[in-house]
Amino acid sequence: MKKALVVYSGGLDTTVCIPLLKEEGFDEIHTVTVDVGQPASDIEQAAARAAKLGAVHHIVDAKAEFANEYCVPAIAFNADYFGYPLSTAIVRPLIAKKAAETYKEAGPFDVVIHGCTGKGNDQFRIEFGLRLHAPDAQVRAPIREKNWTRTAEIEYAEKVGAPIGQSREKIWSIDENLWGRSIEGGRLEDPSYEPPEEIFEWTKSLQDTPDDPETVEIMFQCGKPVSVCGKNMPMLDLIMSANELAGKHGVGRIDMMEDRMIGLKARENYECPGAVLLIAAHKALEALICAPHERRFKDLVDKEWADLVYKGLWGDPLYEDLSAFCRSVQQRVTGMVKLRLFKGSATVFSRESPWALYSEADVSFDDAAFDQSAMDGMVKTHGMSSLLYARLKARN
């Protein structure tokens, strides 16, 4: 008996894999959906579609793990890939890990299937994760193998009666988790096309946002946000609260040209209100706490981490090295940040910490605590090599 496991979102790409496997002679097909904060209706829809297609369905609740083990590091590293808070990228390693656990618990399976195309980044992220956690698994990507377009998938689904939500007219591809929401496909693939308001669900349009600004206070303990507006709450609830607060004011809409791993440029639209809010607050607190050279190096570390995570290399040796440095810095990232939310912006206007490397007495123009005359010799020798170079250049 041939047995397959499909890493199943319930969307078009993974749904068409089930009838394809049946055509290939697989007798028993299992599907696994990992709940990382997508709408409950999506979870229910995936279960219903899997049942309709005769699959044995598994649901894994990983929301709390995602919030604590993946979103918290994203905040600590000020997660940013050219303006994108890595909302899709950081969840793929967890989905692969949970799928691998299902592979071991419900197996043995002859093959593990995912629905990634050959043009995107997820094929790298998912397959690396599966091979990391289930090294003996045979991994296949039928959509990539068949070189199918989205239209070809829809035509096949209609032919075999597979339940899908897309149509030739409404072809958006939407991916959602706690940390963000991505929308692509259809006319959005044209960089000059203005995204229609219908694609957005988490963020208000500027004309629909409140006409009065709102102040948000975020408390951090060792780099982790622990309260919003004076309310302590678990990380999962805190992220959901941040999404609601920032989204109400239109914060977190991102329209960008993204450089995919294979070299293609892609136009991507994201909604990441909570991520944008929490990262802005965290970064402001680090700026208050870190020494100048430490802050510059942390910025380099953040960029390296983002690049690794974008590529799905969660657990790479360099990832572990960067994490060790970040943990050391975060021990001091404790304090409070206030931001003003208004018409699409999240502006930091107040920050305080017991670890602040700041002396008002020394920096103030109205305080004589700092002996300015001591700077005379230091200023005269500033740029000495540059001055010497200028003289040599003038002679020659």
Q: Which residues are catalytic?
A: 13, 92, 122, 173
Contact call for residues 238 and 231 (beta carbons, < 8 A): no
> In terms of C-beta density within 10 A (0-12 exposed, 13-18 middle, 19 or more buried), how is residue 364 classed?
exposed
In the 8-state DSSP scheme, what is residue 68?
Answer: I
Structure tokens at 321: 């090295």
Strand partners, 394: none
Structure tokens at 137: 């698994």
Q: How far apart are CA 308 and CA 81, in angstroms?
A: 10
Strand partners, 338: 217, 350
In the 8-state DSSP scheme, what is residue 55?
Answer: P
Contact call for residues 243 and 274 (beta carbons, < 8 A): yes
Pairing of strands 335-342, 214-221: antiparallel
Structure tokens at 244: 């609601």
The radius of gyration computed from the CA coordinates of the chain, to the nearest angstrom, equals 25
Q: Is the dihedral of CA 9, 10, 11, 15 positive or negative?
A: positive
> In terms of C-beta density within 10 A (0-12 exposed, 13-18 middle, 19 or more buried), how is residue 213 classed?
middle
**Phi and psi for 358 in degrees, rounded to 5?**
-145, 135
In order, the DSSP letters of 77-92 are TT--BTTB--TTTTTH
